[in-house]
Amino acid sequence: MAITDWFECTISIDGTIAEKYDEDPENTSDDFDSNIVRKYIEARSGANFCVDFRAKPGYRFDCDYLLFEIKLDGEWKAGPVIKKSSYSPTRGAKGTREGSEYGKGSEWSLRKFKFGDLEISGSSSYAICLAGRSHTL
């Protein structure tokens, strides 16, 4: 999905990695940030999905952990965390988030990520965008 030199993000729908599509350069605004990578996938009405992040081999891991940020419909969701202790310079490391945890005290549940019911009319198509900053941390 969104890929930079050291990081990769994919979306899996019902266990299968979704095919990615590049952004149409004609649809970008004049104030487009060249440090952002955008890719699109087809949303499947009512399907569950998860977000996978990967720190690639060779990344210089100089912090205790990496937190990947997920925003859905403009709302922040807790992203996966990759700890330095789980990272291998030759294999990299992966973190997955399949939903949002909610609750309080000892009563917590997972609300899985799920595409809403989509209405498609005419030649319109629906997609979600993944954006990732392409800078070295």
What is the spatial distance between Cα 129 and Cα 95, in angstroms, rounded to a whole number? 19
List pLDDT tens digits, range 8-45: 888 999 889 999 887 766 666 555 566 666 778 888 88
Tokens of 96: 């997955």
Residue whose pair of structure tokens reads 């930079």 in the numeric block: 4
Name the residue range of residue 72's domain.
Answer: 2-133
List pLDDT tens digits, range 75-131: 887 777 888 899 898 899 888 888 888 888 888 888 888 888 877 665 544 444 444
Quick one: pLDDT at residue 111? 87
What is the domain count for the chain? 1
List pLDDT tens digits, range 46-86: 899 998 888 899 888 888 888 877 877 778 877 778 888 99
This model's pTM is above 0.75: no
- Give, in order, the Cα–Cα distances in Å from 100 to each of 28, 76, 96, 108, 133: 30, 10, 12, 10, 23
